[in-house]
Structure formats: C-alpha cells, structure tokens
Amino acid sequence: MKTLLKSSLLVIVLMALSLTASAGKKVVRFTVSEPDAKIYVDGKLMGGGQLEITIPSYACVNVKVEKIGYLIGLIEFCNKPDYSPPPKTYFYQMEKDDAYDASEATDVANVDIEIKTTKKEDDAWKLLSQIITTYFDVIEVTDKNTGYLRTAWVVQTFKQKTIRTRIIVKLASTDPLAYKIKLVSEVANASQVSVKSDELFKEWDRILRKFKEVIREAQTRLGS
C-alpha cells in the first residue's frame, strides 16, 4: 500500500515538473521583411526590423508591426498548455498599403483655398459647377444665391482603410469675386465602414490621386 502511494506521488510530482518545464518562458526571434518597420509588443514600442520576443508562462503577447506605406500587421503568440507552442523563429512579410499607393501627400487637403476670378458671377458659378461635376457625380447641396455648394461623399474602400472625399464651396467675397474651395479628405482605419460613421473618420493629409487636379483646375480656369 505504501509502495503504491509512493508511486502515485512520484507520478504526480513528475507530471507537475513536466508541466512546469513545458510552460516556462519562451523566446521568439521575430523578423520583419522591412528592416525599419516598428515592432510593438503589447502596445509598447520595442524595436524595429528584428526583435527577440519573450512570452511568459501561461500568457499571450500581441505583436503589432507598422511602417508608413504598408498594412499594419497583428500577430499573437501564446505560451499556454492548451495552445501550440510558439515558434523559435518567425518571419513576417509586410504587405503594401493599397490606400497609400492610390493617394499622395498634399497641402491642399482639408484647407480653404481662395480663388479670385474676374468672371461674372453667373459664368463663374457655372464653370465651377462644371469642374466639380467632372470629379464628383453627386452634388448634395447647391445654392448660387449664397454661393454655397457641397458634393456628396465619394467613398473608396481598401484593405485596412476607408477613404471619403468631398468638395465644399463657399462664396468668399463679391468684390472682387472670390470663392473658397475645400477638398475634404478623411480616413477611417477599417474597411467596409459606413460613410455616415462620422466618429470613425479623421482628417487625412493625403488625397486620392483621382481628385488631385480638381483644385488646380479650378484655380487655372476661374483665374484665367
């Protein structure tokens, strides 16, 4: 009886030791395809390009990889008995940001650009409307008497972003005749976002390339 009890205790001790050994901290040698990419571990910036990541016993860590012009990478490593053990090495291939590639940085996004013109008000308004409808299909509000025009949002969805763009025109002065034109460009860091979800969008210092000429064209044609 005592021998059986000792054997049972020995088995329990060995199992406990085995479990403890298997659950010890693990280290993953993490490498990113872009050497200057930033690596965050549980929200804290830890390095760039290459990093040794320690996963404590019975825990998971969340790794985020970021670089301008690339999609954000999210990886989770867990060191728990019910999970597959984390790899000793891990290579992450970053993917190009399609929204970044379809846009360009600009200093005209989300600012009022004043355009003076020597044209008559009716002619100027007609020309301005023609220019805008070349780039935007739907004018949401238009009032020639007050000199106000606003297009509907044009939405384009990408893998990790949703971009919405519109034009707003306001009469700046009548003598000399001048209009303020704002090209509104906003981004939500998620795909398939409703255009009405204002709380998810923020101003973007880039514009989609298909709209990049609208301000210049208005300046050139109204100012001539």
pLDDT, tens digit, for every residue of 75-103? 999 999 989 999 999 999 999 999 999 99
For the whole model, what pTM was predicted?
0.80
Q: Does the pLDDT of residue 159 top 50, yes or no?
A: yes
Structural domain boundaries, residue 89: 23-96
Binned at pLDDT 50, 70 and 90, residue 23 comes out as low
| Residue percentage of the chain with pLDDT more than 90 | 83
Give me the amino acid identity at 76. E
Task: Identify whether 152 is part of a domain.
Answer: yes
Residue where a domain terminates, one of 96, 126, 158? 96
Mean pLDDT, residues 19-34 taken together? 79
The number of distinct structural domains making up the chain is 2
Structure-derived torsion over alpha carbons of residues 184, 188, 193, 194, reported in degrees to the nearest 10: -30
Q: Does the pLDDT of residue 22 top 70, yes or no?
A: no
Whether 42 and 150 map to the same domain: the answer is no
Here the CATH number for the domain that contains residue 161 is 3.30.530
Whether 119 and 217 map to the same domain: the answer is yes
pLDDT of residue 192: 84
Residue where a domain terminates, one of 79, 96, 113? 96
Task: Identify whether 11 is part of a domain.
Answer: no
Whether 125 and 79 map to the same domain: the answer is no
Whether 92 and 109 map to the same domain: the answer is no
- What is the full DSSP assignment across 25-92? -EEEEEEESSTT-EEEETTEEEEESEEEEEE-TTEEEEEEEE-TTB--EEEEEEE-TTSPPPPSEEEE
Here the CATH number for the domain that contains residue 39 is 2.60.40
Binned at pLDDT 50, 70 and 90, residue 5 comes out as very low
Task: Identify whether 3 is part of a domain.
Answer: no
